[in-house]
Structure 1
C-alpha cells in the first residue's frame, strides 16, 4: 500500500488539521510532550501536540459532550493525539525485537496517530482528578488489554469500579464514532484503520 505523506510543518497551517487545545470538555495532558511516558523523556520538542484531523476532532467533541451528559463536570483527558511519523519511529526503535513490539505500530505501515485519526484518552472528574482505570498509560501488560478485562476482574487484578470507568469511556467514544482496540483501553480510532491508511495523509 502506498501512503501519501505530509510534513508536520505543513500540517500546522493545513485546513483539515485543527487544534483541540481549547475544546470544551477536554484537558490536554500529552505524555510524549513530557517525561511521563515509557521512553522517559520529551519526544515532541517544540511541537506542542494537541492536533487532530478535523473528522477526529469533531468526534472527540461529541464524546466530550456525551461524558458531560453522563457525568456533569467530568472531562476527557487527552494523553496523545496527532503523533508525527518521526516520533513513531523513535517509539518503534525502542520496542522492535522485544515482546513489547505488539503495542507500537510499525511506522512502515503508519500509526493511526500519525494520520491525526487516533487519540489516547482517559477520564478526569469535576475536580480535575485523573481516574484510576486499572493501569497507567502505555502499560504493556495484560491488565491494559480490554480483551482480558473479564479474566483480570475474576483474578482480582481489576476491580468493578475500574471496569465501570473503562466502560464509561468506551461508551462515550463509541457513541461519537470511535472504536477501540484489543490491547489498549486508552486508544481510540476515528475510522477503519485500513481506510485511513488508504485515503488520508500521514504526517511526518
Structure 2
C-alpha cells in the first residue's frame, strides 16, 4: 500500500509529520481521538456499522474498527465511564457508533432514501452529529461482559426504543423495571458527564446540537 506523509500544524505553532497507509482511517488526522486508547481500554468498542449485523445489513465502515470522537466528547465519555465504575464496579460502557465520515453518511442515505427507514438516517445535505464526532451510540455491559437488557437492541427502529414513552411502556408491561433501570443508569452517567439524550433512541447521546457542532468543528469528509 502506498504510504502518504502529511505535515500538520496545530494551534498555529506545533508542526509535525505523520505517515499512514492509503487505506487507513483518516480520523486521527481530523483532530479526533481513539476512545479506547484514551480510556486505557476500559471502554469497549463494537462498531455495528463495521459488521453486517445492523439495519442496513451491510458493513459500511470497512476497515474502521475503532471509535473516534473529538477530544472533548471523548473526555466526557471517559468521565461517564469513571462515574459508572463508581456506581457499578466492573461495569463498562460499550460504543456501537461514534464519528462517521460524510462519505459513509452518503452511502447509508442512498440505501434508505426511498424507504420508510429514511426517517432514521440524516441526509448528507443536513448531516448527522456523528459526522462531526460529537455524538455516540452506547450501551452498558456488566462485569462478565454481558450487555445489560435495555428492552431493545441498539439500532432498533420502533417506538419501544424511545425514552419519551418509557413510563407508558412500563405500565403496559412492554418494558420491565430492570430494563428501565438499566436505561436510567446509562442516561444518568451520560448526562452527568455532559452529554444530552434524545427522545427517540435510548442509546444516542450528543455533546452539542447541529448548529453548535457546525460552529465548533469541521465535518468529517
The normalised TM-score by structure 1 is: 0.90
- Is residue 17 from structure 1 mapped to residue 35 from structure 2 by the alignment? no
Counterparts of 1:57-76 in structure 2 under 5 Å?
57-76=74-93
What is residue 151 of structure 1 aligned with on the other side?
168
1:103–1:183 contact (8 Å) kept in structure 2: no
| Alignment equivalent of 2:157, drawn from 129, 133, 140 | 140
How far apart are the structure 1 equivalents of 2:118 and 2:153? 18
How far apart are the structure 1 equivalents of 2:110 and 2:101? 15
How far apart are the structure 1 equivalents of 2:29 and 2:50? 20
What is residue 54 of structure 1 aligned with on the other side?
71
Q: Which runs of 5+ in 2 are unaligned?
A: 1-23
What is residue 112 of structure 1 aligned with on the other side?
129
> Structure 1: which 4+ aligned runs deviate by more than 3 Å?
8-11
| Alignment equivalent of 1:28, drawn from 42, 45, 48 | 45
**Cα 1:10–1:137 shift into 2, 3 Å:** closer
The structure that has the greater radius of gyration is: 2
1:82–1:115 contact (8 Å) kept in structure 2: yes
Higher relative contact order (CA 8 A, sep 6+): 1
Once the two structures are superposed, what CA deviation does each residue of 1:45-101 show, in whole Å capped at 9, x if it has no partner? Answer: 123331111011010000000111110000001001111111112222232233332
The normalised TM-score by structure 2 is: 0.84
- Is residue 167 from structure 1 mapped to residue 184 from structure 2 by the alignment? yes
Q: Which runs of 5+ in 1 are unaligned?
A: 1-7
What is residue 187 of structure 1 aligned with on the other side?
204
| Alignment equivalent of 2:62, drawn from 32, 41, 45 | 45
Q: 1:11, CA displacement in angstroms?
A: 3.5
Q: 1:41, CA displacement in angstroms?
A: 2.1
Count of residue pairs the alignment pairs up: 196
